[in-house]
Structure 1
Amino acid sequence: MNQLLEKLRKKALNLTHDPGVYLMKNSRGEIIYIGKAKNLKNRVSQYFQPNNPSHTEKVRRMVEQVADFDYIVVGSEFEALVLECSLIKQNNPKYNILLKDDKGYHYIRVERGSFPKISAQKQMTDDDADYLGPYTSSFSVTQTVDEVNKIFGLPTCNRKFPEDFKKARPCLNYHIKQCMGVCRGRISEEEYAQTFKEALAYIKKGGGSLLERLTRQMEEAAEALDFERAAKLRDRIQAIRRIADTQKVYLINTENQDVIAFAQNQTHAAVAVLKFRNYRLSDKEDYFFPDVYDIETVRQSFLSQYYMMTADIPPRIVVDEPFEDAELLAEHLKTANGRKVTFVFPQKGDQKKMVDMAFANASERLSKYVSRTGREVAALDALAKLLGLKKPPVYIEAYDISNLGESSKVGGMVVFENGRPLKKAYKKFRIRQIEGQDDYASMQEVITRRLSHYEQEKDTGEGFGRLPDLILLDGGKGHVAAILPIIQASGLDIPVFGMVKDNKHRTRAIAKDGGEISISANRVAFSFVTTIQDEVHRYAIRYQKQVHTKSSLEITLTRVKGIGDKKASQLLSRFRTRAELLEATPEQLAQAAKLKPETAQELFLFLHALS
């Protein structure tokens, strides 16, 4: 055993069983990790057990850098939680989940001039414009600018007015009534200035008082028989109300709450926080965490740090999954906030829909870092949760058996990597050892051969030399039961599930050892599994048809005198289809299977007579 590791293990075994906080340090005395424990001795000693199977790759790398550790004993788990978060905030240890304030400030830019525009900006510049802000939320700034431009029909194009009057046709925004069409040159500078003034009032004061004023102006215009102006004011009032309706998300008996969800692939994670205030989605924050192997630790660490570093704490916090310190954190937030804070973990209903919305946003953030769409990230995450996998399966192999008589039994293997087909890794299998049409035995032969190839090629790390994170079989629990003993006997740890179809050949459920998992309610996972099942079935059927066609041709060719099974097989190895055989000359036929010239000529005439 490493001498330093043994020294640290002995030190850890002398710790107290009381709760506390431990600080891992490197050879320079720098704190690289801070953790809490309800039992210091048990928790810290686990780090220094040689070859601990529960350690993730990140933990192993951290332990390799530990030269010493300190600890602080406290009176309760609650105190340990509070102290841990305080120390993490002060020290920013390398191996902790860190929340960095990288949001920056955001501004609303207000142009000057005859026909000014309103836009969102990340920073102030020394230009001919006024700026409203700063705001910490890019979401709020973007949403506000988008709202005000739509409500008041302000131009968002790059044209300059009045210079660009009538130089081009109005854009799409004009035709869908989201722009007043300044480019037509029919709106006076005075009229535009009044509209722009109202737009600024909407930004600064909100829509409530503006609606009252616009309603009063509309009524006055109608009384003065100025119906054109009254109609414009009516449309503006309707636009404000329509925007307000579409932007609000109403929640059952909940005025203020946060909704939080996490997305993960093999080594990265992202979290989205949706903030609802006054029944309305008012802000969104998202964070990305590289080098993550344990989403449970991320969830616990993030929630503890996030809410201990903000004063904006709503009475209800909705989270996608339960986490270990929920009760302790709720107690601390109640003390700090002066009112009760509740963590909720919904499984259905409107709150679950809000969690799904947060999850979609987290998946979208994660997708930017893994070169995949948010939907693909979400599908892998949803499948992992459905099957009870520790991590989303990046590399999936799916198998199907297809047969048509004794001579046309085949197996197909398709591969999905990061949610997409990896066609260069697809494999075909001819079933050679099984007599009769026995799908279970055929699948056993295919999987056995696949694993034997792994033993031969594992040093390459590619193709058969790469193990899947998940195996899916086109079949029910019988197929799973037939394959699991083979996987277990190999000493490999690969999850195996079946893909079950209904009597109309549509995906119905996931089969596991001894039962089934319904997937119809999980739309994302259902769609993904259906795609995999359809792809592997298509691939196996296509190969089976190729084999059947080749077998039929072999039988046909042996009808020519001088051509047996061996020479027929040689011919079909060179000319794979009937069309290729018909295009071949007698000389080419003779060369492919070493035929006598007269036999080649007879074969040539025979083939063309059949056509």
Structure 2
Amino acid sequence: MCTLSESLSDGVFSYPKKENGMVDMEHIALLRKKANELPLQPGVYLMRDKDGVIIYIGKAKRLKNRVTSYFRALDSHTPKVLAMVENVKDFDYILTDSEFEALVLESSLIKQHSPKYNILLKDDKGYFYIHITDGPWRRIDWVKSKPPKDGQVIGPYTSSYVVSQTVEQANKIFMLPTCKRQFPQDFRKGRPCLNFHIKQCMGVCTGKIPLEQYNESVDGALRFIKGNSQGLCEQLEEEMAKAAENLEFEKAARLRDRIAAIRRISGQQKVLYAGVDNCDIMAMAIGSDRVGVSVMNYRHERLCDKQDFLLSTDSDPAAVRAQFLMGYYRDNFDLPRQVYLDGECEDGDLIARYLTERAGHKVELVIPQRGQKNQLVELCRSNAAQYLSHRMKASGKEVALLDEVAKLLGLRQSPQYIEAYDISNIGASTIVGGMVAFEGAKPLRSAYRKFTIKSVAGAPDDYASMKEMLTRRFERLREAGEKGGEQGFGRRPDLLLIDGGAGHVAAAKEVLDAMGLVIPCFGMVKDDKHRTRAIASDGGEIQISAHKSVFSFITSVQDEVHRYTISFSRKKHRTTSLQLELMNAPGIGEARARALYKHFRTLDKIRAATGEELEAAPGMNKRAANALYAFLHPQTEE
């Protein structure tokens, strides 16, 4: 039996008010005190807002540990969790006999209350129909929801993906027009479109296609839609042989081309006929504050449905998979025997047991490592990345790349804003640092920054130089945060990449720890030939050569930060050398040397200047100009 805790709706606790955007820590302390009194037993907890509405439901193996974690170390919470905690007035809990019972109860309560901060999957798919228009020149298209009153419809179907793919294939195989021209009104009113020239349309607009031949193609397309491709090929082969016997060679050639097109399309569209029995495939693409999830449902060796979801969450990927699976199968009774995932799932054994009991047969959660199943998971992940990129207005390749970077480095979410750092020195006199930034996997040159290292004297020290550069950078972040800035130095990076190995990473993390910043930091390690080899972390090295897209991206980041830093270093060295040479002249100190360089830019231009031009330069006078001219032209000292 489950027992409900005593409710604190009698007004003992007040709503956690905010002042200047800060949480009421006094109220948080009261909630933490109440949480510390919870038992170390399995159960479900219900977070309530000021109106008593349940805003979050969770389960725990040990209630005390899980619930108290919400009300301590608020700085470590993700934005979503912190937003939920800010709105919690009180919480209740229900004890269960086991963690599995807690999982079942959590699912039931989420279904009843639809809490604001739980992952909720909205089913807004509707139904889809294949529509064949009226009239002599019929068209085949697909529509959503209410079917048109005119023409013929086939359906309803629940998957827009399968319907659109089927209609697209039918039109392509039988070379039917998909343009907006009206026939016969638009015969010979313009040139045929590109589809005609690439042999994906028979060119009805030319007015040369007989109506009988056109309707024969439409009827063939409808047979393709209603039946399987293998049976249609056999039927078309019989018709082709019959046409050849009757000496209808043009018709036989058309039928031959259709058979070849059907077989070619069927060979290309492995996603529709994958050769896998009843299973579901689920994969995710993680953005900065959104997660795209795709689910492909295979039944009887054929893809029968594909669904895409956009989740607003910043939880750990394993937790997101667990919450998604429980939500997806909450009202879905068509459970397969295998669910293939693209990564680890929190409470995977409990969820598999829960699904098994609901399905009446064993359900397994599997993470394929190789072979056809792994290829299908990667295909599903590509779909999720494409869907996420479409919703976030970004490139699908960029989303997939950053998602793979996050997966390889063990990040909670894909890094949308990356900063990379390098140190360059030419002797002890010229030590500089460079910072480059990448946003959405593309260079953000407006955020590039240069640093002249000031505190390192004597022999070059890369570690000390890196510490100075990062300290100055993040002090500017702190200052910008106090002023409310979110651009340039005021923007907090999602990932730091340091040109160097474990020692450079340790130096960078020392700065981050001292400033109380939690930012993922890794090194970019090069081989003896100065080529990117691996990623360095505090736990060793992560090999990236097997991940082609990540390897190319990290290489481009390392090359860019090195190019930017070494360019600044060479320019700085030329400037320093010129200034030192000018300071050997009588009357020329550091300030005048710097001003002369800024004005003339090169030593050749200074040497070519007349005495009057030198005198007119900033910070110069006649005496200093004459002395400098004499120093630069000893052979014409008079």
Structure 2 length-normalised TM: 0.86
> Does 1:241 pair with 2:263?
yes
- Match of 1:162, SS state, is coil
Please tell me the residue identity of whatever aligns with 1:478.
G
The residue correspondences of 1:351-366 to structure 2 (distance < 5 A) are: 351-366=373-388
Q: Which residue of 248, 252, 269 maps to 1:226?
A: 248
Question: Is this contact kept in 2: 1:251–1:350, CA < 8 A?
Answer: no
Please tell me the residue identity of whatever aligns with 1:413.
M
| Mapped partners of 2:499, 2:265: distance in 1 | 48
Question: Is this contact kept in 2: 1:248–1:280, CA < 8 A?
Answer: no
Report the alpha carbon displacement of residue 28 of structure 1 after superposing the two structures with TM. Answer: 2.6
| Mapped partners of 1:361, 1:326: distance in 2 | 24
What residue ranges of structure 2 are gaps of 5+ in the alignment? 1-23
Change (3 A) 1:580 1:250: farther
Q: Alpha-carbon deviations, 1:213-235, whole Å to 9, x = none?
A: 21110001111222211111011
Q: Which residue of 383, 389, 392 maps to 2:411?
A: 389
| Mapped partners of 1:357, 1:583: distance in 2 | 66
**Stretch moving more, 526-535 or 250-259:** 250-259
Q: Alpha-carbon deviations, 1:513-552, whole Å to 9, x = none?
A: 3631101112232222112111101111221222233234
Q: Alpha-carbon deviations, 1:232-263, whole Å to 9, x = none?
A: 10110111111111112499984232221122
**Counterpart for residue 495 of structure 1:** 520
Q: Which residue of 162, 178, 185 maps to 2:200?
A: 178
Question: Is this contact kept in 2: 1:401–1:412, CA < 8 A?
Answer: yes
Q: Which residue of 185, 194, 214 maps to 1:163?
A: 185
Q: Which residue of 218, 226, 230 maps to 1:196?
A: 218
**Stretch moving more, 12-21 or 505-514:** 12-21
Report the alpha carbon displacement of residue 143 of structure 1 after superposing the two structures with TM. Answer: 0.2
Please tell me the residue identity of whatever aligns with 1:166.
R
What residue ranges of structure 1 are gaps of 5+ in the alignment? none
- Match of 1:409, SS state, is strand
- Match of 1:157, SS state, is coil
Q: Alpha-carbon deviations, 1:540-569, whole Å to 9, x = none?
A: 122122223323443565576654543221
**Counterpart for residue 303 of structure 1:** 325
Please tell me the residue identity of whatever aligns with 2:251.
R
| Mapped partners of 1:559, 1:73: distance in 2 | 84
| Mapped partners of 2:621, 2:28: distance in 1 | 77
**Counterpart for residue 63 of structure 1:** 85
The residue correspondences of 1:36-435 to structure 2 (distance < 5 A) are: 36-47=59-70, 49-52=71-74, 55-124=77-146, 128-249=150-271, 254-432=276-454, 433-435=456-458
Change (3 A) 1:585 1:195: farther
Question: Is this contact kept in 2: 1:248–1:281, CA < 8 A?
Answer: no
| Mapped partners of 2:190, 2:469: distance in 1 | 65
| Mapped partners of 1:176, 1:504: distance in 2 | 47
Please tell me the residue identity of whatever aligns with 2:52.
G
**Counterpart for residue 14 of structure 2:** none
Q: Which residue of 562, 569, 590 maps to 1:537?
A: 562
Please tell me the residue identity of whatever aligns with 2:340.
V
Question: Is this contact kept in 1: 2:524–2:558, CA < 8 A?
Answer: yes
Report the alpha carbon displacement of residue 370 of structure 1 after superposing the two structures with TM. Answer: 3.8
Over the matched positions of the two proteins, sequence identity in percent amounts to 51
**Counterpart for residue 619 of structure 2:** 594
The residue correspondences of 1:395-544 to structure 2 (distance < 5 A) are: 395-432=417-454, 433-460=456-483, 461=485, 462-513=487-538, 515-544=540-569
Change (3 A) 1:253 1:444: same
Report the alpha carbon displacement of residue 82 of structure 1 after superposing the two structures with TM. Answer: 2.2
Give the number of equivalent residue pairs.
Answer: 609
**Counterpart for residue 548 of structure 1:** 573
Report the alpha carbon displacement of residue 99 of structure 1 after superposing the two structures with TM. Answer: 0.5
| Mapped partners of 1:601, 1:160: distance in 2 | 87
Report the alpha carbon displacement of residue 187 of structure 1 after superposing the two structures with TM. Answer: 1.0
Report the alpha carbon displacement of residue 383 of structure 1 after superposing the two structures with TM. Answer: 2.1
Please tell me the residue identity of whatever aligns with 2:49.
N
| Mapped partners of 1:252, 1:143: distance in 2 | 15
Question: Is this contact kept in 1: 2:280–2:298, CA < 8 A?
Answer: yes
| Mapped partners of 2:65, 2:623: distance in 1 | 86
Backbone CA RMSD of aligned residues: 3.2
